[in-house]
Amino acid sequence: MSSEQEAESIRCLVAKVGLDGHDRGAHVVARAFRDAGFEVIYSGLHKAPDEIVQAAVQEDVDVLGISILSGAHDTLVPKIMGGLEEYGAADDTLVLVGGVIPEEDRPGLKDEGVAAIFGPGTSIEETIEFVRENAPQR
């Protein structure tokens, strides 16, 4: 299988959780993922953690990219991770968090099962590369 076919089979949900209304970054990532050949679903704004879990499970995504700038990552991300666990989807979903996450909060998110955290200024190529290298094989 060519690497292009592999890329096409990577299904990503780009999700905005909570009351954060800034979605420019999420749109940039979604478009770049699509341009990279990934299949992309965008959640839209103001989603509750359980809505994101439902979408990730129903769409059978390989990658869940959570965009969060509101500062509520320490409560919202664990709820999403817990939901994925409940559905048995945590192990085969690569979870990424993008946004302004203070350095001291990062280890806790990683402990919850977040694979990587991408802050402002991360190159989109770096993010795409990470997904290609780490997305679960089907």
* pLDDT over 70 at 19, yes or no: yes
CA of residue 72 relative to chain centroid, distance: 16
Tokens linked to 132 = 């290609």
What gap in Å lies between CA 134 and CA 47, rounded to an integer?
26
What gap in Å lies between CA 113 and CA 72, rounded to an integer?
17
The enclosing H or E element of 123 equals none
Could you tell me the CA-to-CA distances from 34 to 8, 37, 112, 126, 128 in Å, in that order? 9, 5, 27, 15, 10
Domain limits, the chain = 11-134
What is the per-residue pLDDT across 32-53, written as a single tens digit (0 to 9) for each?
A: 999 999 999 999 888 999 999 9
| pLDDT recorded at residue 1 | 44
Per the prediction, the chain carries an average pLDDT of 91
What gap in Å lies between CA 45 and CA 105, rounded to an integer?
23
Per-residue confidence band for 3, with pLDDT thresholds at 50, 70 and 90: low
* pLDDT over 70 at 4, yes or no: no
Superfamily holding 11-134: Cobalamin-binding domain (3.40.50.280)
Q: Output the pTM of the full model.
A: 0.92
Tokens linked to 112 = 């919850």
* pLDDT over 50 at 2, yes or no: no
* pLDDT over 80 at 27, yes or no: yes
- The residues that bridge with 41 in the sheet, in sequence order, are 13
| pLDDT recorded at residue 130 | 97
What gap in Å lies between CA 62 and CA 96, rounded to an integer?
11
Q: Are 18 and 67 in contact (CB under 8 A)?
A: no
Tell me what percent of the residues of the chain surpass a pLDDT of 90.
76
